[in-house]
Each structure stands twice: as C-alpha cells, then as structure tokens.
C-alpha cells in the first residue's frame, strides 16, 4: 500500500490579494464562481506548488443575484468577514464589487471554516482576510 502524507496545514499568512475574478463554475453546466488569488509574502510556504499562490473559489449559487446573497451561505459568511476588514464594502451595491475591493491590498489571512457539512461532505476551511496591512 502506498503511504499517504497529510499536507502541512498553514493557519495564517501575510500576503497580497492579486486577483479577484468571476469564472465559470467547473462543477456545474451553468453558474459562476468568484476566484481569488493570494500571493504570500513568504514564498517558501508554497515552494514546489504550480502557481506559488493560494486560491479560493466561492460558488455563486442559483439564489445569488447581482445584488443579493442567500442568508446563511458561505459567500454571505465570507462577505461578513470582508466587511469587518474593509468597511467600505458595506457601501457597494453589487456582490462582486465588494470582493473586488480586496484586489491589490495586503492582508493577514487566517484559515477559517465558514460553511457547514452538507450531504456527507465536510465543510472546507478558507483563507479569510483578518487584518488589512499597509
């Protein structure tokens, strides 16, 4: 039997939110998701990875519209976390605009589980911006 090793779990890192974009959802025929790319200040933590970046994907559910998110959804929980760090996101009218405000800014990101178990699948942790850095 082949031995399996568990990836080292990074709990937090400082880095730049390089990219925020809307991309087609690869798991469904229709739908979109928000893709975010974070470049860590300490590049050694991702040594050997393909991109040298952390990636987060947030699925836009069928109930998500241009200006609303479903209450209790993972995207709503992530949005609440962003609003704490970037209060100006509360003034945006569109969901995507709020996430776009992260682009080009440096944060301390922490690993946090926002969703909940669903249909036998455990909720996966995401990297959430916790502190805005200069």
Report pLDDT for 112: 93
Report pLDDT for 61: 83
Which strand (E) or helix (H) includes residue 84? helix 74-85
Per-residue CA distances from 17 to 2, 71, 99, 121 (Å): 37, 25, 10, 28
Full-model pTM? 0.84
Report pLDDT for 2: 67
DSSP SS3 for 88: helix
Q: How far apart are CA 112 and CA 117, in angstroms?
A: 14
Given a contact cutoff of 8 angstroms between Cβ atoms, the answer to whether 125 and 117 are in contact is no
Residues in the chain: 134
Per-residue CA distances from 21 to 11, 42, 73 (Å): 24, 24, 19
Given a contact cutoff of 8 angstroms between Cβ atoms, the answer to whether 59 and 33 are in contact is yes
Report pLDDT for 4: 55
Report pLDDT for 1: 67
Closest listed residue to residue 78, CA positions, set 53, 105, 111, 104: 111
pLDDT one digit per residue (tens) for the chain, 134 residues: 666 555 567 899 999 999 999 998 877 777 889 999 999 999 888 877 888 899 999 988 888 888 999 998 889 999 999 999 999 999 999 999 999 999 999 999 999 998 777 777 787 889 999 999 97
What are the start-end ranges of the E strands in 1-124?
12-24, 32-40, 54-60, 106-113
């Amino acid at each position: 039997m082949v031995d399996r090793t568990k990836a080292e779990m990074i709990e937090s890192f400082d880095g730049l939110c390089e990219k925020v974009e809307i991309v087609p959802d690869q798991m469904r025929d229709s739908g979109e998701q928000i893709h975010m790319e974070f470049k860590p200040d300490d590049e050694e933590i991702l040594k050997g990875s393909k991109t040298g970046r952390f990636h987060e994907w947030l699925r836009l559910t069928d109930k998500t519209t241009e200006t609303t998110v479903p209450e209790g959804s993972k995207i709503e929980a992530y949005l609440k976390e962003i609003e704490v760090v970037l209060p100006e996101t509360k003034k945006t009218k569109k969901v995507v605009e709020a996430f776009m405000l992260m682009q080009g800014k440096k944060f301390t990101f922490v690993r946090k589980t926002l969703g909940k178990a669903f249909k036998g699948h455990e909720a996966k942790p995401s990297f959430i911006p916790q502190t805005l850095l200069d």
